[in-house]
Amino acid sequence: MNHEDPVLLHTVGHVLHITLNRPRAINALTHPMVRLIDEALAAAERDDSVTAVLITGAGQRGLCAGGDIRAIYEDARAGGRTSVGFWRDEYRLNARIGRFPKPYVAVMDGIVMGGGVGVSAHGSIRIVTERSRIAMPETGIGFVPDVGGTHLLASAPGELGTHLALTGDAIGAADALLCGLADHFVPSQRLADLVRDLAGSATPAEIAGTVQRYATAAPAGELAAQRDWIDACYAARSVEEIVDRLQNCGVPTAKETAETILAKSPTALKTTLASVRSARRLGTLEAVLDQEYRVSCVAFTRPDLAEGVRAQIIDKDRNPQWRPARLTEVTDADVAAFFEPLGDHELGLVRADPVTD
């Protein structure tokens, strides 16, 4: 194992350890990393000596800050298609994680955003700590939640998922547990001991029991106390009506939330709302990933993605010039175009045979 590799693999006891190893970039995913993880999981499925997988992130800042959006920005600016190939492999990896037949233990410590959610929150055992900050922040860069994120958010209680999808807000441990993005809270100072003890766990029941022994109650979150206005406001049919309800419901936090939403890409907001609501109807992770791939392929060709990344990451002026600039200028036809079938270029997880190796 070369400690400079972007993904480190080693087996301790019966557990395959996967470590995302780009700590200076908060372990942001690249295309080679996605392929390495997928290959490792495929091998682990076949290896009877491996009874579980554990995924962690190197460094102290987080599991994974998402995909390498600088690379996506450069690709979009150059008129390339490399990013589309990255998403194809990434979403197939997300599907593999979702149906992985052995315990898949994800330590969602620190920052876990975008693609980081995709390699963790579809696992069977998802651990958060007091340092966890989990988000799908795509609307802020003119994009739409992907990596199965709309599937996860659509399954959250009430309208909490819609709230998180539109605002891109980061949440802590208790709120991640409430929203179904995580299963257990383990204090960060106990993670090393948990990882050590997992190595001696030989069966799924032993893996689950080991995690349970370390799990405890999470510190209080914020969303449970806000359910009344969140559920009432986000039940509206359109983004415009959601914003209107937020501005006029009489709750100061709701009014601030309306301003947060209005700073995002209007096109991304409307497409995100349609994506989450469609994900509820689609039901399965594979069907939603197929839909997200269509949406991502179209978003890649639209100006807001490159502009959002420019404003937030490249120039950092925090002043994106969205096109169009207002919600009222984004038509139903504009949104529908994101969901059009791709013909021979579909991701095809639903109609395809299970991923083989």
The identity of residue 15, as a single letter, is V
Q: What are phi and psi of 283, to 5 degrees?
A: 85, -60
Strand partners, 26: none
Tokens for 200, please give them: 């001696």
Q: How many helices (H) and strands (E) does the chain have?
A: 16, 9
Annotation marks residue 146 as catalytic: yes
Q: Which helix (H) or strand (E) holds 185?
A: strand 184-185
Q: Catalytic one among 57, 62, 66, 67? A: 67
- Return d(Cα 7, Cα 3) in angstroms, integer: 9
Annotation marks residue 115 as catalytic: yes
CA dist list (Å): 262 to 133, 248, 270, 329:
23, 15, 11, 13
DSSP string, 38-100: HHHHHHHHH-TT--EEEEEESSSSEEE--B-HHHHHHHHHTT--HHHHHHHHHHHHHHHHHT-
Q: Catalytic one among 115, 118, 140, 308? A: 115
| C-alpha distance across the termini of the chain, in Å | 23
Closest by Cα among 30, 14, 23, 21 to 82:
30
Tokens for 2, please give them: 């070369």
Q: Catalytic one among 68, 90, 146, 292? A: 146
Tokens for 53, please give them: 């997988």
Q: Catalytic one among 75, 138, 286, 304? A: 138
Catalytic residues: 67, 115, 138, 146
